[in-house]
Structure 1
Amino acid sequence: MESKDKFFRKKSTLNCRGKILSLDTPLVMGILNVTPDSFFAGSRLSSRDEVLHRTEGMLRDGADILDLGGYSSRPGAADVSVDQELERVIPAIEAIVREFPEAVISVDTFRAKVAEEAIAAGAAIINDISGGDLDDTMFETVARLQVPYILMHMRGTPQTMSSLTEYEDLVLDVIDELQKKVARLKNLGVNDIILDPGFGFAKTIDQNFELMRRLEELRILGLPLLVGVSRKSMTYKFLGIDQSEALAGTIALNTIALGKGADILRVHDVKETKQTIQLYTKATS
């Protein structure tokens, strides 16, 4: 067992603008969407006051990271210009930094220009749903900025990904596609890489469950693992319920993910997720 643990040993900290986040206990990433069309209506924020109110609540409930996005990535979402995305994201980041200077902010974007301006405004992490595929300058930008980078697996775009779900072996293909990008990032000198297998992105509901069953296989890459299944279709569509009723299903899936090595849970419901982690940690320590 000792040799196996050594083989799978992964990086245990993230350097977020000088603030070191430990991954010894799983972290909670709270979702802040400054978009009018994000898939879960309860996460949409349209004003500075709404952003700050939600931020205050998430931090009070124990969020370790705030993930702020201005481009909806739900299947079939409308395209948004770079200027529109910047107009949504940058003022929100600046407001959070002013009111909550200790908050660790992640910017949810696949555009290098938005990523760079967000980091300049006070964000500390780049969360790229496209894994560099939708902006060929993203990897070089991340390397130059030297910030943690969340590398997600996706195919196509939010508009086309639902048609790109053919795999020879789902998990092995995901690992292979991620590994090639990890090698490029490391060659560029990126130090902090977090993997996101991309639940719901270019994957059917059945494929999402297969990915969850085999999640621990991604440990072979030796990198921290982020899981984002909060209120997604693999809960509410599978159960035949509304998204507003999907909290229990989300907690169930997140608990499974914790058992398979998840280091960060990206969620809409911070308080309940923090409690889940506390109970899981106590019961398994």
Structure 2
Amino acid sequence: MIITNIQEELQSQQLQDKTIFDPFQVTLTFSALTRQKLHWLTALWRDLDVYVTVMDRQYRVLFNIYQFQAFYQQYQQHFPDAKELTTLKTIWQAHQLWWRGQNFALNLTTKPVIYDILNTSPDSFYDGGALNTVDDVLRRVAVDLENGATILEIGGQTTRPGFKPITPEVEIERVIPEIKAIKAHFPEALIAVDTYKTPVMQAALDAGADIINDVNGFRDDPEKLTLLKTYQPAVLTMHENRGKAYTEDLTSNVQRFFKTNLQLLLDAGLPYEAIALDQGVGYSANADNIQDFAFMRTLDQLNIFQRPTMVAVSNKGFYGKLLGLSKEERLLPTIVSETAMIQQGGRLIRVHDVKATADMIKLLDAINNSFLIDKENDEITRA
């Protein structure tokens, strides 16, 4: 009996003895194909619009993650007893992208989640002063969860360009009551806290926060690493270079930063799957300039780390600078930018407008996963 041989080609690197590779790209080589199976595969590859090259009766096929998911599902249905399904299953599992915390596990392989911004700082650049009381926050949370938010991020200290720091005590007063109230009223909600201050991190973790988002990448205070080791939260670690223009190319610098930063967090005892990455759009060498757009264009260069990446471009100032739009007029360019970054692998979509983002994600999901395999069933259904 001829058994189809399927092998994956990987362009990979190592990080702390872990093989890392782009989870959103799959390259397979098929050989020892029977005429019947080759006929079926060729038709399916055409339906999936994959790129195929042939050499010495070997078929090298390049899939994106959506194409590979559809391919794997079709293979399971048509050849349920095939021995090579074990290989395909192993490959599919290796490409799963998880973000895990103490109380959650999010599979972000093919679909992003909405990371909702809830600013309690009166000077936040977009919605400062909109959420003045705990009741304001709870009303907003109820609506945003209904509209599709997965993670709620409380922030009590703005880090907009030129921001003025507040004391940890003031920041704690702004965020801890909100965390406790959300946990009491919406116990299943996932709560992130946006802070770079160690005392605020500890207070937030004691209050039940699931995720810590640090614009300083946990590098500026060794006590932060002690907290991470003790509490084991999920984290979002950010690259920033305000006031520090790069003389070398952007991508090499950012990749080098995260390789070092990931090692720092791993050495502190955090599991690899607890870590997510943020390029730092809006934290460039100069505020609202070309580097921010270059970040957005090169998000896929972080896929090699196999960690979820943040898309944080909601209503940013560079839309005003480029397009002359007020902060209330920036939803459309925000959605366009988010779409471009999701297509590169962005999976944590940090937003002010949950409903519009949820609609965009639903539409994009339909586009990415629509293959005309069942040609007699071409109806759109509303979920």
Shorter-chain TM-score range: over 0.9
- Partners in 2 of 1:102 and 1:275 — Cα distance? 23
**Counterpart mapping for 1:190-205 below 5 A:** 190-191=270-271, 192-204=274-286, 205=289
Report the 3-state secondary structure (helix = DSSP H, G, I; strand = E; otherwise coil) of the residue aligned with 2:100.
strand
Q: Which digits, 9 at most, give the CA deviation of each residue in 1:62-83, with x for residues without a partner?
A: 1010011111010111110010
Among candidates 136, 160, 163, match of residue 50 of structure 1: 136
Larger mean Cα displacement after TM superposition, 126-135 or 102-111: 126-135
Q: Which digits, 9 at most, give the CA deviation of each residue in 1:17-45, with x for residues without a partner?
A: 32222213211100000101001036741
1:90–1:117 Cα contact (<8 Å) kept? yes
RMSD: 1.8
Report the 3-state secondary structure (helix = DSSP H, G, I; strand = E; otherwise coil) of the residue aligned with 1:137.
helix
- Partners in 2 of 1:263 and 1:17 — Cα distance? 20
Report the 3-state secondary structure (helix = DSSP H, G, I; strand = E; otherwise coil) of the residue aligned with 1:31.
strand
Larger mean Cα displacement after TM superposition, 203-212 or 27-36: 203-212
Q: Aligned in 2, Cα 1:207/1:43: closer, same or farther, shift over 3 Å?
A: farther
Q: Aligned in 2, Cα 1:28/1:167: closer, same or farther, shift over 3 Å?
A: farther
Confirm or deny that 1:22 pairs with 2:107. yes
Confirm or deny that 1:109 pairs with 2:195. yes
2:119–2:128 Cα contact (<8 Å) kept? no
Structure 2 partner of 1:247: 331
Q: Aligned in 2, Cα 1:218/1:167: closer, same or farther, shift over 3 Å?
A: farther
Residue 2 of structure 1: how far off its partner (Å): 4.4
Code of the aligned partner of 1:56: A
**In percent, how many aligned pairs have the same letter?**
36
Among candidates 259, 268, 280, match of residue 179 of structure 1: 259
Among candidates 331, 353, 375, match of residue 269 of structure 1: 353
User: What is the aligned length?
Assistant: 279
**Counterpart mapping for 1:1-285 below 5 A:** 2-4=8-10, 7-9=21-23, 12-24=97-109, 25-41=111-127, 44-155=130-241, 161=242, 163-191=243-271, 192-204=274-286, 205-285=289-369
Q: Aligned in 2, Cα 1:271/1:42: closer, same or farther, shift over 3 Å?
A: farther
1:94–1:121 Cα contact (<8 Å) kept? yes
1:31–1:43 Cα contact (<8 Å) kept? no
Residue 216 of structure 1: how far off its partner (Å): 0.6
RCO greater where, 1 or 2, for CA within 8 Å and sep 6 or more?
A: 1
Report the 3-state secondary structure (helix = DSSP H, G, I; strand = E; otherwise coil) of the residue aligned with 1:41.
coil
Extract unaligned runs of 5+ from structure 1.
156-160
Q: Aligned in 2, Cα 1:2/1:209: closer, same or farther, shift over 3 Å?
A: farther
Q: Aligned in 2, Cα 1:167/1:139: closer, same or farther, shift over 3 Å?
A: farther
Structure 2 partner of 1:158: none
Higher share in helix: 1
Q: Which digits, 9 at most, give the CA deviation of each residue in 1:66-112, with x for residues without a partner?
A: 01111101011111001001111101101111111111000101122
Code of the aligned partner of 2:284: A
- Partners in 2 of 1:268 and 1:228 — Cα distance? 10
- Partners in 1 of 2:162 and 2:307 — Cα distance? 30
Code of the aligned partner of 2:309: L
Code of the aligned partner of 2:9: S
Residue 5 of structure 1: how far off its partner (Å): 8.5
Report the 3-state secondary structure (helix = DSSP H, G, I; strand = E; otherwise coil) of the residue aligned with 2:328.
helix
Structure 1 partner of 2:69: none
